[in-house]
Amino acid sequence: MHYFLQTCYNCLFIASTLTEMGCIQSIGCKSKVFRENILVTEVKASIDTSPTSIDETSNVVLRYRTPHFRASAQVLVPPISCRETWVVGWIQACNHMEFYNQYGEQGKSSWELPDLRDNKIQAISDSDGVNYPWYGNTTETCTITGPTKKDTKFTVSMNDNFYPSITWAVPISDSNIAHLTRIYRDQSFTTWLVAIKTTTDDMIVLQTIKWKMKLEIAVDPTKPLGQRAKLQEPIAQEQPRILSKNELIPPNALVKPNANDAQVLMWRPAVGEPIVVIPPKY
């Protein structure tokens, strides 16, 4: 859908690295030079300091809720003299994912992104699955349509967290006996604040943020429900990094599939071949 990525790849690299006094200079294709003084007046990024919460109220699954990653930016777009449209907002991609649940000596279940796992791609889109390449289309983006006579000021914001359910019992078993002993998750993300001119498909990277979510939960399945799971270090998450130099957006961060549609749930037994429990949607 975003074919401009292929034709403007070098232009994107140049555009994302030319920043002076907050004003972005962009170089378009066909040697046409244009300047768009889009000013980012403030960028904030943080992860809530509250620890991951654990819910053992169900006798079928354990649930946990991680703290939220939050990002916001105040942006000023100068007057647009001609009839054109800009969209400014957040694009996010997953760069790394380890997410498995250990069931004692029997084996482990693992949510995996095969192409990312096998190093076939650098990153995978974390779009909402509808509004590619954007993370979302409510508070996450703002659309400005010209001509305009004065500066347009606005804030775009996004947040992300995880609230999965993990079966107490081995996922491929008909038994409901609890065998879950450990939950491990280690994911890394890159989040970009981006401006795209829809009339020409030119793209400008305004800001780059790096963040990760890492957790471990120890589980004793022999204990009564409500007393089995305990959060391990790190209790508090590492805070995001707002980069001083923008990074290029990998091609797979802008197109289908997104991470939710591409992930597969595997059962990897201690003995025997891996089994696909839930295939990818895409």
Measured at the CA of 149, the angle between CA 143 and CA 152, to 5 degrees, comes to 40
Q: Which two tokens stand for residue 168?
A: 């107490």
Find the mean pLDDT for residues 253-276.
97
Residue 129 CA to residue 256 CA, distance in Å, equals: 8
In the predicted structure, residue 28 carries a pLDDT above the cut 80:
no
pLDDT in tens, 203-260: 999 999 999 999 999 999 999 999 999 999 999 999 999 999 999 999 999 999 999 9
- The domain tally of the chain equals 1
Phi, psi of 275 (to 5 degrees): -125, 135
Q: Which residues pair with 210 in a beta bridge?
A: 190, 241
Q: Which domain covers residue 98, as residue numbers? A: 4-278
Contact between residue 43 and residue 110 where contact means Cβ atoms under 8 Å apart: no
Percent of the chain with pLDDT over 70: 87
**Model confidence, pTM:** 0.85
More confident residue, 29 or 280: 280
The count of other CB atoms within 10 Å of the CB of residue 239 is: 13
pLDDT the model gives residue 237 = 97
In the predicted structure, residue 263 carries a pLDDT above the cut 90:
yes
At 25, which helix (H) or strand (E)? Answer: strand 23-27
In the predicted structure, residue 163 carries a pLDDT above the cut 80:
yes
In the predicted structure, residue 1 carries a pLDDT above the cut 80:
no
Handedness of CA 26, 140, 213, 61 (dihedral sign): negative
Residue 183 CA to residue 188 CA, distance in Å, equals: 17
Model confidence band, residue 135 (pLDDT cutoffs 50, 70, 90):
very high
